[in-house]
Structure 1
């Protein structure tokens, strides 16, 4: 019991270090392997019922993962929805009310683009952003935040250029604060990652705070005037390396193109 409480606190700290990942961590990921023949609990270990063996399952939590809406604007149609990716749960549920809001502020000016990208939207120039949380049912604990943002095309190009410059300048790391919560991001490294977009940038870093740390992988892709931001983190914590699954990136870009 004590271990479970400690794990839950560590998980909450990790996702708080990367605010946008709260879309993925709330209601989508699980750190427990499912029993044979059973699907993972879509709400993760915190949502597991403690009833007696053989007791009927509790009804779904009405406050649980909300299915993404379809239709709507071009950006809405571009966003991933449940069923797009077999083996993953996709949620449009909003952030935890206790989660930090806004754009993180870096302690180094050169690293501000890297802090911005982990906020509620990729950067202040985004006109509109639609967020999704993705929980892997293949790799327990893997949470991916996926966002699609509309820009003026010149601003989208400038964002990619700023991110490439910042990744090169911030290899030793930086700290960022949002809503009075501060995290450090060490060992910022360019990652070799293939995408089919017009241009992209990818990097890894180690997020740390309050005695816990985890690897984070980020991919930002420009497709015309649309920017796709993908962030992956293992909410179980620890030194495990993570990557945004290639199938997630490919499907997200496919939907952006189909939305026109």
Structure 2
């Protein structure tokens, strides 16, 4: 299923102007595939596959290849995938190709945790990160970035402490730079948000770069040694307040628990 027409390459171009919006956000805005449906006829020009020859008697059959599910890492199994949430399109691409890569550097040391969380991973201590883009078909323009990261549990706890301190310290805002692109984050405000994880930090901010501003909501949740990062904005109207849907957060945490 394709996203609505307004979620197009044009949207990519406009939102990419906010250079330091979450680098992982909006992957779902360009979703839509041309995969063959169940009624698609096979290519008549394709040669028929040769019939498999059974192995000689007494020889061991080659092991069956691992299914994608069994071969996937625990973190991959924890990540959202298409079909997990009714009314949402989920992309494994996970990143806007026009967004800069890496970890942004804040102009204020106290605000570095808030700059880090806008990067490719929540902070440099993450061992592995799997990213997804989520586009809502219920709320026009709502796009969410969802990532899961593996940590040493002590590092995950430290990240949450640093984020809480940074939200309290950086209310007036800060600027951050990545790949020579600079943007500002102002009006950093904590926002109450309930999740089923061990602990969470939630806040809103106004991100501005290249003359474009957007309201962004972020939620970071720790479940044991796994960290979930959720970021939302409205790509149809960047000035409109957005919030991470509760059902997206709940489903992500449910998948983490099931993968354990």
TM > 0.5 = yes
Distance 1:17 1:142 in 2: 18
**Normalised TM-score (structure 1):** 0.79
- Retained in 1: the 8 A contact 2:24–2:94? no
Q: Which residue of 2 aligns with 1:178?
A: 178
Q: CA deviation at 1:60?
A: 2.2
CA distance in 1, matches of 2:11, 2:200: 34
Matches within 5 A, 1:235-254: 235-254=235-254
Maintained 8 Å contact 2:11/2:29: no
Return 5+ residue gaps in structure 1 as ranges: 31-41, 44-58, 63-68
Superposition TM-score, scaled by structure 2 size: 0.79
Superposition pairs for residues 217-236 of structure 1, below 5 Å?
217-236=217-236
Q: Which moved more, 1:234-243 or 1:189-198?
A: 234-243
> Does the CA-based 8 Å contact 2:114-2:163 persist in structure 1?
yes
8 Å CA contact 1:29–1:142 kept in 2: the answer is no
Q: Distance in 1 between matches of 2:12 and 2:258?
A: 39
Change (3 A) 1:238 1:94: closer
Equivalences, count: 221
Which one has the largest radius of gyration? 2
Give the direction of change, closer, same or farther, for the CA distance of 1:136–1:6 in structure 2 (3 Å limit).
closer
Structure 2, unaligned runs of 5 or more: 1-7, 37-67
2:203: which partner in 1? 203
Q: CA deviation at 1:10?
A: 2.7
Q: Quote the offset at 1:210 in angstroms.
A: 1.7
Deviations 1:170-189 (A, max 9, x none): 00001111111111101000
The question of whether the paired residues in 1 share the 8 Å contact of 2:23 and 2:100 is answered with no
| Mapped pair 1:60 → 2:63 | no
Check conservation: 2:23, 2:99, Cα contact below 8 A: no
Query: Aligned partners of 2:229, 2:98: CA distance in 1, in Å?
Result: 23
Deviations along 1:3-46, one digit per CA (max 9) or x if unpaired, are: x99866432213x3224334xx23x237xxxxxxxxxxx45xxx
